[in-house]
Amino acid sequence: KGPDPAIAAIADRLSGVKHKILVLSGKGGVGKSTFSSNLSLFLSQNDDTQVGLLDIDICGPSVPKMVGLEGEQIRQSSSGWAPVYVSDNLAVMSIGFLMANQNDAVIWKGPKKNGMIKQFLKDVDWGDLDFLVVDTPPGTSDEHLSIVQYLKDAGITGAVLITTPQEVALQDVRREIDFCRKVGVPMIGVVENMASFVCPKCDKSSVIFPATSGGARGLAIEQNIPFLGSIPLDPRIGISGDFGESFVDQYQDSPAYAAYASIISSISA
């Protein structure tokens, strides 16, 4: 059996995309989709930067809600599936747009999941993009192998690994790092999420997991990959995600915004 013809079709489809960034996490619930959404919103603040956000987190596509596009449907155009636009220069495609019910995907079996992922990579008409941010499912499953395989010819710029500082999450990041090394995906770096809490009233910062404080940075150093920074737990991030309001537009005076800004400047550099 020769190579899957979809691999070449995907490379062709994504030939106008300069940077393809995978957002990975070892565990669910660490803030991966929040990061993918905010990264895309941040990058699109520059009107001249064309950004696409592709949500293939089959386990629970939460991107539509986070970017305020819940309930939108995919439109078919003559050249593929048309993404849904948050703004002129931020296009979004999510498996969530295909599901009448948010819980539908939970019962999908492997081949159906892989088929969907393949279709999403192959059929979305992005046009020319500076950045395509891909929100992947948590962990290192068969889906990840498929994603990497499908993007083999298109080329992956790199992966950003999101983690919280707890030891259980860090262990899973080690696995994620192993995975990237084995399949040859370059790692842009590690982002730590929710290590500290900044009180919105007094702006004082408290460490949430003291036992493993600094663990993500330590892991990055030990593994010889860049540590990109730490985003504090900030209720305004949660609220923005729950209501689909842009944290990036609304809370530019918050410490979490400053953390994002610094992380994203190193990603886009």
Instruction: Check the annotation: does 238 bind a ligand.
Output: no
Residues of this chain that bind ligand ADP (CB under 6 A): 25, 28-34, 62, 193-194, 231, 233-234, 237-238, 241, 256
10 Å Cβ neighbour count for 210? 10
Min dist CB 135 to ligand ADP, Å, is 7
- Residue 33 known to bind ligand: yes
Q: Which of residues 83 and 138 has its CB atom nearest to ligand ADP in the complex?
A: 138
CB of 62 to ligand ADP, least distance (A): 5
Q: Is 201 annotated as a binding residue?
A: no
Nearest distance in Å: CB 162, ligand ADP:
7
For ligand ADP, the closer CB: 44 or 62 = 62
Q: Measured between alpha carbons, how far is 26 from 64 in angstroms, rounded to an integer? A: 22
Is 29 annotated as belonging to a binding site? yes
Q: Which is nearer to ligand ADP, 127 or 200 (CB)?
A: 200
| DSSP code, position 70 | T
Q: What spatial distance separates the first Cα and last Cα of the chain, rounded to whole Å?
A: 40
CA distances from 60 to 137, 191, 235, 242 (A): 8, 21, 22, 14
Residues 6+ apart with CB under 8 A from 132: 14, 17, 19, 20, 21, 51, 52, 53, 54, 126
Tell whether 31 is in a known binding site. Answer: yes
Annotated binding-site residue numbers for ATP: 26-33
Q: Which residues are annotated as a binding site for [4Fe-4S] cluster?
A: 199, 202
